Copies of this chain bind each other. A is one copy, B any other.
């Protein structure tokens, strides 16, 4: 970050809390299969790169389709997924965009079965503000178990 300090002082405590709240809503929408509402937390042409998809997903229509398909597959398998973001750092760019790095866990439960840790990931997001609300402009996820 520009100041060389541990915490970017251009990011206020209020804004840090807002990022935490943003991810909470964002993940509740994702895990609840609310595909369109989740896609709306990205910018119109937001991008999403994860190791489990062969290429980056771009734009809300494509993001919606990916989540809808995932929700249907989980439904069929009798599974529930929960995404946790934590250990969130936030640094600001001169234009006000936020560089977020955080850890991400995925837990899977089988209905009538048990719950397990599925994935440990790192998520790198660029968040921007549109109409006063945070949105994901780009996401890049890496998985700790992948070489």
Contact = CB atoms under 8 A, between A and B. Distances in A.
Interface of A: 5-7, 13-14, 16-18, 20-25, 27-28, 41, 78, 80, 82-90, 101-103, 105, 107, 109-120, 132-134, 143-147
Nearest to A26: B6
Given A22-B7, A115-B120, A145-B115, A28 B107 contact: no
Nearest to A142: B80
B133 A82 contact: no
A43 B143 CA distance: 33
Contacts of A143: 109
A21 B82 contact: no
Contact of A25 (B6, B27, B144): B6
